[in-house]
Structure 1
């Protein structure tokens, strides 16, 4: 009777081992099928991913080129107006050191100098954009000194 029980236990143990091995095989097969399906899906998405990266790189290069062009334009404009600005500062300092520079009203030659400096700095402005260049009639100007 002991042999029959031992034989039944060995059979039951071999059946349990077979079931465990079958579960492992099915699990490994499922994991392999999942990995293969995922790899196929990623491979199918690859052309769109590469196209998106290419579009992003092109947009970045276009933005870089626009920044470079804007910076070059700004530098050209600064190179154009910097001598005028420095000359205007020199004129202001030289005029301020004269007797006429201490007067509350600018002399006519200084006003003409300011207008010529403005025309040199802003050549696109016409006379109508900056107002009437003629002098104002006496008494028309308000007191700008304040109360």
Structure 2
């Protein structure tokens, strides 16, 4: 049961791409996807993460700033169609990643997650200076990549 063969892996990749929603733009490429999920993982460790549509929407409405990461293989799509609009109104960069399972793994939850909001600072308590710098650097990198991707779309 351990490792998958190359053929199985490529089939899984194809399945992920087939299941993508038509509104999943801007979609992160392989490199940006890896970097984004790494940022989500680090944010989860430092409690700078809002998971799920309800929590993300509430957080955006309250005026919290961050970057929104949305899974591209959500079905039914209506569940998340309002999230990008909210993000645009609040000037929050957002990006789609191909799989909700990968997003959940990075966000340290067992259930597949539709979307997460990576906050710039933790909701409770404070981070050490060094940790905050690392998180900010990763965050800035991903945000700049996302804005590059978005500008190439429009």
Same fold (TM over 0.5): no
Higher relative contact order (CA 8 A, sep 6+): 2
Task: Kindly indicate which of the two structures has a greater share of residues assigned to helix.
Answer: 1
Give the TM-score normalised by structure 1. 0.25
- Who wins on radius of gyration, i.e. which is larger? 1
Task: Kindly indicate which of the two structures has a greater share of residues assigned to strand.
Answer: 2
Give the TM-score normalised by structure 2. 0.24
